[in-house]
Structure 1
Amino acid sequence: MNNVTTEVFAADDAGLSSAACVLEQGGLVAFPTETVYGLGVDARDSDAVARLYQAKGRPSFNPLIVHVASLEIAEKYVVFDAVARSLAQAFWPGALTLVLPLRLDAGISPLVTAGLDTLAIRVPDNSVAQGLMAAFDGPIAAPSANPSGQVSPTKFTHVQSQMAGRINGIVDGGDCGVGLESTIVATQPVPTLLRAGGLPAEALEAALGDTLALAGETTAPSSPGQLASHYAPKGTVRLNAVDVEPDETLLGFGAIEATVNLSPSGDLVEAAAALFDALHQLNALGAEKIAVSPIPDNGLGRAINDRLRRAAAPRSGAAT
């Protein structure tokens, strides 16, 4: 897929209609959601999904998230239990992905599910994504629009710099508001947090009236986002740094001097939205060793720390 012509589509009716035509023809189109930019293909087209894996350099054993426009459409592809339905009604559209049993007649490519009998699915809360789904009128499988294992894109320029020449198109929809990938939850056999993300686990637990179980990392993921090494900048990463070595570049949090600061005011929402762009900035600066200030491990801080731990993990077959 290298050296293909990458067309830029405006985020208007004409642009989204053209982007949908590319999807219908089996092409790869990046588009914004409220979380990060996704790299979309027709989730029913195995050839297109195979080209997506190739373009990203993503292991084919790592499942993909399917994006649809509504709960009613999601019901065509997966089976909801009472807990899943209550979470969907509470948090969709939004940064929640549910992993649910796949309907036998769903027509989803087995490459999307990595051969599993479950499907990761969500309804994005972004007008451009919703417009593209309406124009395409089908399920869109979309991991983050970046080379596998590298930093997820939250701006059009991130996608353009990393994926131009590899994919068929990019919808220029501005910046992503949340800036962290979706939170992933399975509801069977018990409600389980598979990946912390843009929807705080505390909000889910408040809706459930119970604590979420936690899933471990694995080399054979049951959902997207479970590989240990992920979101990696070019430099090595040292976490919870209370001091900075002379050869390190500081990624700060709070009222401290830093080369790049996620939130000088210590706001976790601001830090979450800035995280991936900050890692892109550090790449652009050529930072070889990155020290990261301590970040509170609550609310969105839990997801920020999850991404930073994966960014700091040894590099071996990472994928997004």
Structure 2
Amino acid sequence: MRNVYPGGISCIVSKGDWLFKLGVGAAYDRVGTRDSIMIRVPDHTVTCHLCDMTGPLAITSANPSGEPDSTHHSMVINRLGHKIQGVLCDGDSNEVVASTVVNCLRIDEGIISIVREGCVPAVKVQQIFDRLKNTML
């Protein structure tokens, strides 16, 4: 993660007690799935500043389940404006494609898989992983 964040990669990792150190508390059972959580550190100045002030944010995707990804604040407002109180916006994003989702649940076995190819090409993710894996041998 240190090699890809901040940026357009979301990593699915195992849940564990480490989440309590981040302040998840009673929300532990409400974030992610029973066994995993997806982590993203966006390359977005305002969001990073907000997280510096608040700590990690447990949030859902900015689109209704099953619908196409929201890649612009106007899409979020159009789809979810009636359900949310606001949208954090600092101008147009340079990411017009959703994040690349990488399943890291078997990373200790030397295995990752691409769940969704997004703004970071799958081949680049695999190259980063292979380079790091080779330095650990």
| TM tier relative to shorter chain | 0.7 to 0.9
**Looking at CA atoms only, which structure, 1 or 2, has the larger radius of gyration?**
1
Matched, 1:198 2:115: no
User: Whole-Å Cα distance in 2 between the matches of residues 156 and 113 of structure 1?
Assistant: 23
User: Whole-Å Cα distance in 2 between the matches of residues 174 and 201 of structure 1?
Assistant: 27
Deviations 1:53-84 (A, max 9, x none): xxxxxxxxxxxxxxxxxxxxxxxxxxxxxxxx
Partner of 1:144: 61
Q: Give the superposition deviation at 1:105.
A: 4.8
Partner of 1:167: 84
Partner of 1:45: none
Q: Give the superposition deviation at 1:124.
A: 1.1
Q: Give the superposition deviation at 1:182.
A: 1.5
Structure 1 runs not aligned, ≥5 long: 1-87, 211-320
Partner of 1:94: 7
- Summarize the Cα distance change of 1:128–1:104 in structure 2 as closer, same or farther, 3 Å threshold: same
Aligned partner (choices 89, 114, 126) of residue 33 of structure 2: 114
Partner of 1:125: 43
- Tell me, yes or no, if the aligned pair for 1:155 and 1:174 is still in contact at 8 Å: no
Deviations 1:220-251 (A, max 9, x none): xxxxxxxxxxxxxxxxxxxxxxxxxxxxxxxx
- Higher RCO, 1 or 2 (CA under 8 Å, sep at least 6)? 2
- Tell me, yes or no, if the aligned pair for 2:72 and 2:96 is still in contact at 8 Å: no
Partner of 2:128: 207
User: Whole-Å Cα distance in 2 between the matches of residues 203 and 105 of structure 1?
Assistant: 28
Q: Give the superposition deviation at 1:93.
A: 0.8
Structure 2 runs not aligned, ≥5 long: 132-137
Q: What pairs with 1:228-239 in structure 2 (closer than 5 Å)?
A: none
Please provide the CA RMSD for this pair. 2.1
Which one-letter code corresponds to 2:90 in the other structure? G
Divergent runs of 4+, >3 A = none
Identical amino acids, percent of aligned pairs: 26
User: Whole-Å Cα distance in 2 between the matches of residues 105 and 209 of structure 1?
Assistant: 26
